[in-house]
Structure formats: C-alpha cells, structure tokens
C-alpha cells in the first residue's frame, strides 16, 4: 500500500514524484510503461541527443488523423522522462493570458500570477535568471543559442525577420515580449535536460520514492466510488495489483483519457460499445482535444549549401499576432535547419504554426484491450477562425522564403508547389489537407467546476465523483497555451506536487 501511486513518469509525473517525495512521511510509487535509465552514462544516444527528436526507439507507435482521411505517426515518449526525454527541448511558457483564461473558466488557482511561481521554481535560466519573472535555481536548465552558435539557415532566418520589420526578442519567455530571436531551450550542449535528468536523478536516493519501469497500467481499480489502486500488465501476461491511498494519473493527453475509459470513466455509450461497464459517466473524457496545427514551406538549397543533419534542428522563433486578432502572439514561425534526407539535395524548412486554436478534436477508445492504441482525431482547420489565421501565417512564411538572406540560399520551393499558386483558396486547401500536429495535444480530461459539462476534474486535479483519483498532466489543460507544452506540463507537476507535499489532507492523505 503506497500513499501516492503516480501513473506515468513524464513531464508532470516526474515533477510530482520529486516534489511529493520531499515529504518523508509519504510513500510514493512512480509507474512507467517504458524503460528506465538511472545511469546517465548508459542512457541511449537518442535520449541524450537534443539536436533532434527521438522518433522511434522510445515511442508508443501511436497514429492520429490531423485532418479528415489522413493517418500519420504521432510520436510520444515511452520511457522514464516521457515526452520530455524525446522532444525538441523547446522551453516556452505561453502567454499570461492563456492561464488567465483558464482561471476565468472556473480555475482561479491557474491564473498567471498563481502559476508564475511554479514556472520560476522549475527553471535554472542561464541567461535571464536575474529577471523577476525567471528562476535561477530550478532543476531544468534553460539557455538560448548565441549568434555564433546558430546554423546558417537559423542565422539567415533572424536576418530575414529583421528585413521584414519584425523586432528582435532576446527572451521569448518575457511575459510581454514578441518578435524574432533565439529559442529558450532546456539543453546543455547535446544533453537533453529531461525531467528524468532534472527531477528524478537527484530524487532517486530518497527511500520513500519507488520507480517501477516496464509496468503498463491496464486499468484503475475502482471500488464503491473510490480509486483503490491500479492493475499492471506483467511481462509474462499476468496482472499485478498495486494499492494506493491516492492514484495520480499522468499518462498524457492521449493515454490518460484512454486509461479512464478502460476503467469505466467516460461517455456511457462509448464505453458500452466496447463492452465496458460505465462506473462514472463523464461525457468530457476524450473530448476537447486542443493542439497546434502547423504546416511548413520546404526549400531546396542551392548547390554547395551546407546543410548539416547532425546540427540542432531548431534554434530560433518568431512570435507575432495575426492582423485583427485579439489573441496576442497567436502565430509562430520557426526555422528548421534541415529537411529531406542526409544523402539527398540540401534542404531546409520554415514552419508556420497556429498557436491559439479555437477548434477541438477528440480521443476515442480504440478498444478495451489495454495494448490497443487510442484513436485520435484532431480535426485541424475545420474551424474557419483557425483556417484563416493559419493561411495568413503560411503566406508570411512564404514571405520569409522570398526574403534575403534565406532567398539567396534557396534554389526552389519544394512545398507548396509554386505552380499551383498562392491565392487564398489554394492555401486554404493546403491547410485543410496537410496541417499536422505540433505534437502538443492537451485538454482531453479538462479541468473545471462541476457545472461545466465537459469538466472531468476540479482545479486541483481531483476527479469529479471519484474519490482517491487525481489527473495531472496536459490532459487537464482547458486549452493549449501559446507555446510548446513541455514547460506547462512541468509547471502542472510542480503545482500539484507542492499541493500533495504541503496539503496532503486536501487529497484525503
């Protein structure tokens, strides 16, 4: 019997385990389906190498439909550290307004002034740690590439932004900043400072923290309105039960709703269609999927252009506001250092990203079998407000490709095909057909008050109508923040972990 059992050792789960285990009176068990590498010197290169994502070796092998009729790979980290161990190491926070919107929806604990201390606590900002909105002693080291370390395409991107009239932004995490500049990144050289490195490495010595890898949780154990533990699939095919006074689900925006549904928590009709008895009806489980639709302009470089596929894939960013929008910094353009194949012609890309999304998708249960992947429908650009702004962002991105010094490096545009034109109708068709995920799914176990028909948990992560069950990861975000979501997931872990450490009675402990 553990006091707290955490399902999923990703960005949120690792932070919760580290913070909650600071209370020596709580016994913590952190359960992860993937492998664990406690010795950094023996950690596989794909997890160390922050210059590019790890796409296959530590992946769940999920797929998704970004737009109707397309099925593509959806990388998710299956390892201690979760997606923080396989991602691009972009350390953005989002806009203060993102969190104030969460608060306005009935979650006052998540207003900007309430989450800023957690953002400061998690980071060791090596460039701006002296600023009042930054931290300088947290477990996640963050730095920005200086000009001399930028790849040729990345430096050219900043020069093109200057020529196009965008202001320079030295710190993309300044709450009121905008413009083009270096990405804040949680990496030191090639080392990806994941949550396994930053949070769990120093916490492993604690006798009250137990980390179990290769432990796939099949379902929650629910008894008379209370979660009493979990069932774990054993390698030889059996089932092991782990008991706990409190279960905290941190399996991510795709797996957390799937786990709830397999356990009988969700929309009754969907559960019964898979032969699952509905224990607690929650129509919002799996709904409200929010993400960042993106599309890239792919450029073929001139002969002789050196494009290094072993260089950092991304280093710079432009954040700006679409014309007429009341959502600040709702668009993003990013330079991708390389594209295509290493043995092919020199290629690079420029990504157009919609940061504030109105449309919503859903995650459906693929089946009652715990090894069956969830079904993910993003439905990008079905909302006309999203389509219009992404088309505008795509047009601006084409403008970058046509501006020196990027234009001077470019032989031709490979995508979109210039012969098809760049009028609004053509770009709309492209966005509807080819928009893809920024790999930032969230919102599928939405937090909010009980009178919100889609809310599954309250603002403390406690499941409405089920005692002893907390969900705390990207799935509880009411909407995707205007940023890559890793830092926000860690922030969620910081806040819930601190509440568990300092106010355990609020969670029945």
CATH number of the domain that residue 498 is part of: 3.50.50.60
The distance of Cα 35 from the centroid of its chain, to the nearest Å, equals 20
Final residue before a domain boundary, out of 408, 434, 460: 434
Pairing status of strand 293-301 against strand 436-437: antiparallel
Quote the mean pLDDT of the chain: 97
* pLDDT at residue number 234: 81
| CA 174 – CA 92 distance, rounded (Å) | 10
413 has a pLDDT exceeding 90: yes
Q: Same domain for 100 and 238? A: yes
Contacts of 40 (CB under 8 A, 6+ apart): 48, 197, 201
Find tokens 């009988």 and name the residue: 264
Q: Same domain for 274 and 332? A: no
Q: Same domain for 319 and 455? A: no
Q: Are 490 and 81 in contact (CB under 8 A)?
A: no
Q: Same domain for 226 and 309? A: no
Q: Same domain for 152 and 272? A: no
* pLDDT at residue number 238: 86
Most distant pair of Cα atoms in the chain: their distance? 69
Rounded alpha-carbon distances, angstroms, from residue 196 to 2, 49, 68, 232, 388: 21, 14, 36, 22, 40
Q: Residue 88's pLDDT band (boundaries 50, 70, 90)?
A: very high
Residue 450 lies in a domain: yes
37: left (phi over 0), alpha (psi -120 to 50) or beta: beta
Q: Same domain for 14 and 131? A: yes
Closest among 281, 236, 194 to 14, alpha carbons compared: 194
Task: Give me the mean pLDDT over the 380-389 stretch.
Answer: 98
Residue 69 lies in a domain: no
pLDDT digits (tens, 9 = 90+) for 330-370: 999 999 999 999 999 999 999 999 999 999 999 999 999 99
| CA 257 – CA 243 distance, rounded (Å) | 21
Residue 312's domain comprises 146-182+293-356+381-434
| CA 471 – CA 112 distance, rounded (Å) | 21
Task: Phi first, then psi: give them for residue 130, nearest 5 degrees.
Answer: -80, -15
53: left (phi over 0), alpha (psi -120 to 50) or beta: beta
Q: At what angle do helices 96-104 and 112-122 cross, to 10 degrees?
A: 130
| CA 341 – CA 427 distance, rounded (Å) | 26
Closest among 326, 372, 440 to 92, alpha carbons compared: 440
CB burial string 161-188: b at 16+ within 10 A, e below: beeeebeebebbbeeeebbbbbbbbbbe
Which residue blocks in 6-60 are alpha helix, DSSP H? Answer: 11-20, 45-48
- Joined tokens for residue 142: 């963050």
The distance of Cα 273 from the centroid of its chain, to the nearest Å, equals 30
Burial of 102 (C-beta count, 10 Å sphere; 0-12/13-18/19+): buried
Residue 235 lies in a domain: yes
pLDDT digits (tens, 9 = 90+) for 280-297: 999 999 999 999 999 999
236 has a pLDDT exceeding 80: no
Residue 368 lies in a domain: no
Contacts of 420 (CB under 8 A, 6+ apart): 426
Looking at the structure of the chain, the number of domains it has is 2
What is the number of other CB atoms lying within 10 angstroms of the CB of residue 395?
14
Q: At what angle do helices 424-434 and 384-401 cross, to 10 degrees?
A: 110
Residue 257 lies in a domain: yes
Task: Give me the mean pLDDT over the 45-64 stretch.
Answer: 96
Residue 374 lies in a domain: no
| CA 421 – CA 427 distance, rounded (Å) | 8
Q: Are 475 and 253 in contact (CB under 8 A)?
A: yes
Which residue blocks in 171-267 are alpha helix, DSSP H? Answer: 195, 201-203, 252-262
Angle at 490 between CA 487 and CA 495, to 5 degrees: 125
Q: Same domain for 158 and 287? A: no
Q: Same domain for 4 and 106? A: yes
Q: Same domain for 340 and 222? A: no
Query: pTM score > 0.95 for this model?
Result: yes
Question: What percentage of the chain carries pLDDT values higher than 70?
Answer: 100
Q: Same domain for 80 and 9? A: yes
Strand pairing partners for 7?
31, 249
Q: Are 86 and 75 in contact (CB under 8 A)?
A: yes
Contacts of 451 (CB under 8 A, 6+ apart): none
148 has a pLDDT exceeding 90: yes
* pLDDT at residue number 361: 98
Q: At what angle do helices 486-502 and 112-122 cross, to 10 degrees?
A: 100
Residue 367 lies in a domain: no
| CA 61 – CA 435 distance, rounded (Å) | 20
Q: Is 224 helix (H, G, I), strand (E, B) or coil?
A: coil
237 has a pLDDT exceeding 90: no
The distance of Cα 108 from the centroid of its chain, to the nearest Å, equals 22
Q: Same domain for 323 and 177? A: yes
The domain that contains 316 carries what CATH number? 3.30.410.40
Q: At what angle do helices 384-401 and 152-163 cross, to 10 degrees?
A: 110
Residue 13 lies in a domain: yes
Strands (E), 416-499: 436-437, 469-471
Final residue before a domain boundary, out of 418, 434, 450: 434
Q: Residue 242's pLDDT band (boundaries 50, 70, 90)?
A: very high
Task: Phi first, then psi: give them for residue 17, nearest 5 degrees.
Answer: -60, -45
* pLDDT at residue number 172: 98
183 has a pLDDT exceeding 90: yes
Which residue blocks in 58-151 are alpha helix, DSSP H? Answer: 96-104, 112-122
Q: Same domain for 27 and 124? A: yes
- Joined tokens for residue 184: 């804040």
122 has a pLDDT exceeding 90: yes
Rounded alpha-carbon distances, angstroms, from residue 159 to 92, 104, 163, 332, 507: 22, 39, 6, 17, 52
Strand pairing partners for 375?
364
Integer-rounded Cα Rg, in Å, for the chain is: 22
């Amino acid at each position: 019997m553990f006091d707290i059992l955490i399902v999923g050792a990703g960005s949120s789960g690792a932070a919760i385990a580290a913070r909650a285990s600071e209370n020596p009176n709580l016994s913590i068990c952190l359960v992860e389906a993937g492998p664990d590498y406690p010795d950094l010197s023996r950690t596989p290169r794909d997890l160390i190498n922050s210059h590019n994502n790890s796409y296959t070796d530590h992946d769940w092998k999920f797929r998704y439909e970004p737009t109707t009729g397309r099925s593509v790979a959806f990388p998710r980290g299956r390892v201690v550290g979760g997606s923080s161990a396989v991602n691009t190491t972009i350390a953005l926070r989002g806009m203060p307004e993102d969190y104030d919107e969460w608060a306005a929806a009935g979650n006052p604990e998540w207003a900007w002034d309430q989450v800023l201390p957690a953002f400061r606590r998690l980071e060791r900002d090596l460039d701006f740690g002296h600023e009042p909105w930054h931290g300088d002693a947290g477990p996640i080291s963050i730095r920005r590439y200086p000009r001399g370390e930028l790849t040729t395409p990345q430096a050219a991107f900043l020069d093109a932004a200057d020529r196009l009239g965008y202001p320079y932004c030295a710190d993309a995490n300044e709450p009121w900043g905008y413009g083009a500049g270096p990405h804040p990144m949680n990496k030191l050289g090639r080392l990806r400072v994941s949550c396994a490195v930053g949070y769990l490495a120093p916490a492993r010595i604690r006798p009250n923290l137990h980390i179990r890898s290769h432990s796939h949780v099949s379902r929650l154990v629910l008894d008379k309105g209370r979660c009493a533990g979990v069932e774990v699939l054993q390698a030889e095919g059996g089932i092991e039960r782990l008991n706990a006074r409190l279960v905290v689900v941190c399996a991510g925006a795709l797996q957390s709703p799937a786990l709830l549904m397999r356990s009988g928590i969700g929309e009754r009709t969907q559960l019964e269609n898979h032969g699952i008895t509905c224990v607690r009806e929650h129509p919002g489980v799996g709904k409200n999927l929010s993400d960042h639709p993106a599309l890239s302009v792919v450029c073929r470089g001139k002969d002789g252009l050196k494009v290094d596929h072993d260089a950092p894939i991304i280093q710079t960013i432009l954040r700006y506001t679409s014309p007429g929008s009341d959502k600040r910094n709702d668009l993003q353009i990013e330079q991708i250092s390389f594209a295509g194949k290493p043995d092919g012609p020199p290629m690079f890309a420029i990504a157009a990203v919609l940061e504030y999304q109105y449309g919503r998708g859903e995650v459906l249960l693929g089946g009652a079998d715990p090894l069956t992947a969830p079904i993910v429908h993003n439905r990008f650009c079905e909302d006309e407000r999203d389509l219009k702004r992404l088309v505008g962002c795509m047009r601006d991105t084409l403008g970058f490709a046509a501006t020196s010094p990027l234009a001077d490096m470019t032989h031709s545009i490979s995508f979109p095909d210039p012969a098809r034109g760049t009028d609004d109708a053509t770009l709309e068709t492209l966005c509807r057909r080819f928009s893809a995920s920024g790999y930032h799914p969230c919102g599928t176990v939405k937090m909010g008050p009980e009178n919100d028909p889609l809310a599954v948990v309250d603002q403390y992560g406690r499941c409405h109508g089920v005692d002893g069950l907390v969900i705390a990861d990207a799935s509880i975000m009411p909407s995707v923040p205007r940023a890559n979501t890793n830092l926000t997931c860690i922030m969620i872990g910081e806040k819930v972990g601190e509440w568990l450490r300092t106010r355990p009675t609020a969670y029945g402990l």
